[in-house]
Structure 1
Amino acid sequence: MIKKIIYFIIVIFITSCGASRGKGSSHAKNRVTKKTPKRTVTVTTRKIVTKKPVVLDNTATSTSEELEATSKVSVTYRNVSDYIDGFKDIAKQNMEEYGIPASITLAQGILESGAGNGRLSREANNHFGIKCHKGWNGPSITHDDDAAQECFRKYNDPSESYKDHSLFLTSRSRYNGLFKLDKGDYEGWAKGLKSAGYATDPKYPTKLISIIERYELFQYDNEILSRENTKKQDRVVVEEGIVNGTTYEIQKGDTLYSISRKFNMSVDEIKKVNGLNDNSLSIGQKIKVK
């Protein structure tokens, strides 16, 4: 009897545990398999472009300027410097042979050919804008200048253009007065060319002088003339002061002290001779010196 009771209790206990375990598993299953609603996320992307840095060359060699050749041409300082290096020897040779300052020849070549970048110099090796004129039987090229499609001389080599430029000046009587000037007086030559009718531009002498002084073309004249390498006006002013022994014209940058050193005088002597009450000077002022 007792065994039956124990057996019965065990069966009930096992049945209860199984029911509980089944309910728990069903709950867990339901919890695990429950679906979570999907969420849609929109992502916007932007293409990033990396630009290469722009490098600006601010050196003097790249600064452009305009030269008024037979047509306006933009050139750089380096263009002009390269042109000078290429033609300075020809200009000096022509100076020795024909007596035209190398500085003048180079300055005209730079200005009128656009430092070799103008059409006439590139296509006809004509660096001075020399027109055909009467008696020219050589090759030619047409180009718009004072009038449309004018005739200009064409050369096989730039050196021929340089030689023809020298012959052009030496063979025409209207330029005779130029050859009476000092070969180092580039200012006088620049102004004389304009006065003789070489160019119609009223600023032509100023442009030539500016080019000569900016690029120190006077040094090539001095080499041929075996002179000290100074500007014409500086040399003339000092020579005049020494030659006549009486007056000196004040230049930019002059002081009483610098003048005293130049003429071996004391500052007090200069002030006394000229009746100066202070040390102030003005450009162009003429003072007495010993």
Structure 2
Amino acid sequence: MKKIVLYTLLLVCTCSSVLAKNYSRKEYIQKYKDLAIKEMERTGIPASITMAQGILESRNGNSDLARKANNHFGIKCHDWVGPSMKFDDDKKGECFRKYNNPYESYKDHSEFLTTRPRYAFLFKYRSDDYKRWAHGLKKAGYATDSRYAHKLISIIEAEQLYKLDRKGAGKDFYAEPDASQLADIDGDLSIDPFGARLEVANGIHYIVSKKGDTFYSIEKNLGVERKKLLRYNDLPKNYILQLDQRLYLHNKRNKAARGYNFHRVKEGDSLYSISQQYGVKLKKLCKYNRVKKNYKVEPGERIWLRKKKR
């Protein structure tokens, strides 16, 4: 009887190992390149960088973290409130984020880079400048490996992933995957209509409202709640969205980007418009200039965008 049980267990293990297919690097690229391109068009993160990070962090999608938690980028829990799993990494039993599908992992990778201040400087680089992005990720502390940037660049150049950064190049990169290859990727793979409209100021993503936009449509497409949009943009609760309005999708900064110490007021400027132009919180502008929110600026006046040096 024990022999039969042992044989059955061996058979199950053998079948499981056969079913758990190991992807090659090229198979991984073919399977997930569309997600990397989608995120590039939505956020500006180079598809080559996203793809190389996925390859390196998930070992071509074959790591336990990728298989059991759909986590392709090795992102730990940090301030995560969703599902999680424990894996050994730098320390034993570290907490890692768990996703329902790979697409959620790719989207959260974008969210991780676009919302953390230490990565803000990366978005000053072009989306086809993969070398600067690779070195920038290492500089910002994405990984502890001293050769992290060189490994990403090596993967990108070996697989010619830089071709993914060119507009419309994805369809000609390897063979186009059929429906069965994307069967395990849930969610809408169509390009977010707001994606091409994302712009960056002071390291913060924003859009400019167009005809037909509403707070509801922005929330639906970009996932930012109305109350957060109002808070991020120093707007009152009963505010009605205006045409051609700059709307930040994350909190504005406490000071302007390096090199912008003050703004020389022009005709038509207001303290609020200056706050939006430079991505600086309105209350901080008031503090730096020792004025109140309803203060009326005058043409030629100097408005400080960061604490004045004494």
The normalised TM-score by structure 1 is 0.50
Cα deviation 1:68-111 (Å, max 9, x = unaligned): xxxxxxx99x7000000010001000000011000000000000
2:145 matches 1:145: no
Q: What is residue 93 of structure 1 aligned with on the other side? A: 38
Q: What is residue 124 of structure 1 aligned with on the other side? A: 69
Q: Could you tell me how far apart the structure 1 residues matched to 2:112 and 2:96 are?
A: 14
Q: Could you tell me how far apart the structure 1 residues matched to 2:121 and 2:78 are?
A: 22
Structure 2 counterpart of 1:217, one-letter code: L
Of the candidates 39, 42, 49, which is equivalent to residue 104 of structure 1? 49
Of the candidates 175, 183, 188, which is equivalent to residue 132 of structure 2? 188
Aligned length: 151
Asked if the contact 2:52/2:152 (under 8 Å) is kept, the reply is: yes
Cα deviation 1:198-239 (Å, max 9, x = unaligned): 11111000000000010110111013599xx9xxxxxxxxxx
Higher relative contact order (Cα pairs below 8 Å, separated by 6+ residues): 2
Q: Could you tell me how far apart the structure 2 residues matched to 1:154 and 1:183 are?
A: 28
2:122 matches 1:163: no
Larger Rg: 1
Aligned-CA RMSD value: 2.0
Of the candidates 28, 43, 54, which is equivalent to residue 83 of structure 1? 28
Q: Which runs of 4+ in 1 moved over 6 A?
A: none
Q: Could you tell me how far apart the structure 2 residues matched to 1:224 and 1:218 are?
A: 12
Of the candidates 218, 222, 240, which is equivalent to residue 162 of structure 2? 218
Q: What is residue 35 of structure 1 aligned with on the other side? A: none
1:152 alignment partner, SS class: strand
Gaps of 5+ in 1: 1-74, 230-290
Q: What is residue 290 of structure 2 aligned with on the other side? A: none
Of the candidates 201, 205, 210, which is equivalent to residue 145 of structure 2? 201
- Residue identity (%): 59
Q: What is residue 244 of structure 1 aligned with on the other side? A: none
Q: What is residue 114 of structure 1 aligned with on the other side? A: 59
Asked if the contact 2:163/2:169 (under 8 Å) is kept, the reply is: no
Cα deviation 1:41-68 (Å, max 9, x = unaligned): xxxxxxxxxxxxxxxxxxxxxxxxxxxx
Q: Could you tell me how far apart the structure 2 residues matched to 1:182 and 1:154 are?
A: 31
Q: What is residue 36 of structure 1 aligned with on the other side? A: none
The normalised TM-score by structure 2 is 0.47
Asked if the contact 1:186/1:209 (under 8 Å) is kept, the reply is: yes
Of the candidates 168, 173, 191, which is equivalent to residue 117 of structure 2? 173
Asked if the contact 2:46/2:128 (under 8 Å) is kept, the reply is: yes
1:227-238 matched pairs, under 5 angstroms: none
Cα deviation 1:100-136 (Å, max 9, x = unaligned): 00000000000000000000000000000111112x1
Q: Could you tell me how far apart the structure 2 residues matched to 1:156 and 1:141 are?
A: 12
Gaps of 5+ in 2: 1-20, 174-310
Asked if the contact 2:57/2:74 (under 8 Å) is kept, the reply is: yes
Asked if the contact 1:110/1:116 (under 8 Å) is kept, the reply is: yes
Asked if the contact 1:92/1:224 (under 8 Å) is kept, the reply is: no
Asked if the contact 1:96/1:224 (under 8 Å) is kept, the reply is: no
Structure 1 counterpart of 2:71, one-letter code: N
